[in-house]
Chain A
């Protein structure tokens, strides 16, 4: 079973920030939060990951709460091409046998013109 909870769908206006929440209340101390997205009929695309500090890259920002039980993925200026299913996943960074990604149902983000 997925260890995360996400809303099934969200809408966002083009040009506005999209804030996608994720709950992971059972996350362990050495598990990272990963975000992927899947645009229709394509393979999942890696977005960002983090442990406890906030992270930012060219695609998005990841805000993790201090207790690490939840996080928010922020797309600062959403475009129509950001319409996709966004998956929040927790897993170990490396080592051990737990490399596999367990996908939940994700959040369908629809960016509207």
Chain B
């Protein structure tokens, strides 16, 4: 399975600011995913990020709020823009590898 790391592991941010979360994989993967897990809830897919193409966003998520970069086959970033307290969540990076999806440890974001 792929080994995935995320930075930062957690952060506390002020309302109106933006935070960029990094996801690094130890092998080249075509498909990467960003999920959100709000407090007490299950995971919800934000977008699919394939290298060399625009990210595909799920219903309820837009590029202006969650811009994604995918510069190469081992790295991606998710930015949470103009944050509000409702954005307080765990953000998880995931990759498709060997017939399954594997997840990073998550970034715990608290917006004050």
Contacts and interface: CB of A to CB of B under 8 A. Distances in A.
Note whether A and B form a binding pair.
yes
A44 B94 CA distance: 9
Contacts of A104: 42
Contacts of B99: 49, 93-94
Interface string A83-113: 0000100000110000111111110000000
Given A44-B103, A45-B103, A49-B100, A101 B45 contact: yes
B92 A100 contact: no
B13 interface: no
Contact of B102 (A42, A46, A94, A105): A46
Given A49-B100, A99-B96, A101-B101, A44 B33 contact: no
Interface residues of B, number: 23
B48 A42 contact: no
B42 A43 contact: no
A104 to B, nearest CB: 6
Nearest to B44: A103
Given A99-B31, A101-B45, A106-B42, A42 B105 contact: yes
Nearest to B96: A99
Nearest to B56: A97
Interface string B33-62: 100000000111100100000000010000
B67 interface: no
A99 B106 contact: no
Interface of B: 1, 4, 31, 33, 42-45, 48, 58, 90, 92, 94, 96, 99-106, 108
Interface of A: 34, 41-46, 49, 87, 93-94, 99-106
Across the A-B interface, give the 10 residue pairs with the lowest CB-CB distance, nearest first.
A43-B103, A103-B42, A103-B43, A44-B103, A43-B106, A43-B105, A100-B45, A93-B99, A43-B92, A46-B100
